[in-house]
Amino acid sequence: MKAAIIGGTGYGAIELIRLIQNHPHLEIGTVVSNSQSGTNFSDSYPHLSNIVNISLEKFDAEEISKQNDIVFLATPSGVSSKLVPELIDKGIKVIDLSGDFRLRSQNEYETWYKHTAPAEEYLSKAVYGLSEIYPEKIKEADLIANPGCYPTATTLGLLPILKANLADKKSIIIDAKSGVSGAGRGLSLTSHFAEINENIKAYKLGAHQHIPEIEQVLKDETGSLITVSFSTHLVPMNRGIMITAYVNLTGNISTSEVNELYREFYENQPFVRVRPIGIYPATKEVQGSNYCDIGLHVDPRTNRLTIVSVIDNLVKGAAGQAIQNVNIMNNWDVTTGLDSIPMYP
């Protein structure tokens, strides 16, 4: 199958290319970058020299849908919403890595993203691609809204305890830490090396556009309106997200029981690994891979559960989960092309 990638010079696209190259059933078709069309891909990314010898092209929905079997949009939010309709109308399946089609409510989208929401007609076609939770819907989808990096780590960390109805739903606090690649390749002072190296920085407290996305999943899965506290922090590293979530427990349950609960919940999920009691995951342990690793601790002093959940933001938080969704859509084994070992150290 040939895959087109739109938004070809961002980190999301680069990671898609790395993963597609490793995938037995996918190959790179068209790569679109309006800003750099006509140039060779390896001019922007010398690490692709001798591997991906492709010219970047301008966006042309007609050509793309003729020459490819699937399209990945690795475009910024606000751009995907404009490109998706044309592509969908040509009958090609689309995986959108931006936030544009994740929120079902146009209102919510416009409140948090501060620009115009996609048309209702296309929003309603979108399936939220949290692979472990919605495989059946993903299988049938024409348009996948690929989850955000923070929401992936967060919802995989929270759902088992919430669905077991053991958590006080008003108590949920998520303290998120991210590597800098999550901010993309666009230049900004907060991604300027000397500013963020040797530094931790809190940003967008209570204001991150991933908040409504998390709350939408939690509501879908529990039936309750859940409002979370969500704080984001930039950490001086390239890849990796860790969320530390805090939940008040409603009954008496030990760390070992919670651990068992999580292991059962993810029993058939090859990409979610639950650490043994007393061991917490570190982001490096999933570097370059599609794993989400989870550690759990119940503090008997407060009867509060602490959940540590880590992913590689560019893999399970973006390109990897996109490939996982393609695997599901095609009835391929879910690990196809995604079974490489994390790069350590």
Q: How far is the CB of 72 from a second copy (least distance, A)?
A: 16
Q: Cβ–Cβ contacts within 10 Å for residue 286, how many?
A: 30
* 56-93 exposure pattern, b = at least 16 Cβ within 10 A, e = fewer: bbebebeebbeebbbbbbbbbbbbbbebbbebbeeebb
Q: What is the closest distance, in whole angstroms, from the C-beta atom of residue 249 to a second copy in the complex? A: 12
Tell me which residue of 12, 213, 242 sits closest to 105, measured CA to CA: 213
Cβ proximity to a second copy, 119 vs 205, nearer residue = 205
Closest approach, Cβ 97 to a second copy, in A, equals 17
What is the distance between the alpha carbons of residues 326 and 135, in angstroms, rounded to a whole number? 11
Decide whether 26 or 143 has the Cβ nearer to a second copy: 26
Assigned token pair, 100: 């544009």
Q: Quick count: other Cβ atoms within 10 Å of Cβ 119?
A: 12
259 to each of 80, 90, 209, 251, 274, how far by Cα in Å?
39, 47, 30, 15, 7
Min dist. Cβ of residue 166 to a second copy (A): 17
- Closest to a second copy by CB, 45 vs 90, is 45
**Closest distance to a second copy from the beta carbon of 182 (Å):** 9
Minimum CB separation from a second copy for residue 239, in Å? 7
Find tokens 């006080």 and name the residue: 168
* d(C-alpha 307, C-alpha 280), whole Å: 9
Question: What angle (nearest 5°) sits at the alpha carbon of residue 222, between those of residues 281 and 217?
Answer: 65
Please identify, using beta-carbon distances, which residue of 15 and 100 lies nearer to a second copy: 15
φ/ψ bin of 249: left (φ > 0), alpha (ψ from -120 to 50), beta (otherwise): beta
**Among residues 87 and 322, whose Cβ is nearest to a second copy?**
322
Of residues 298, 295, 291, the one with CA closest to residue 275: 295
Sign of CA dihedral 142, 18, 36, 118: positive
- What DSSP state is assigned to residue 147? P
The nearer residue to a second copy, 67 or 231, going by C-beta atoms, is 231
Displacement of CA 59 from its chain's centroid (Å): 24
Q: What's the CA gap between 84 and 75, in Å, rounded?
A: 11
Whole-angstrom CA distances from 4 to 20, 160, 177 are 11, 35, 31
Which residue's CB is nearer to a second copy, number 116 or number 199? 199
* Distance in Å, CB of 241 to a second copy, minimum: 9
Active site residues: 149
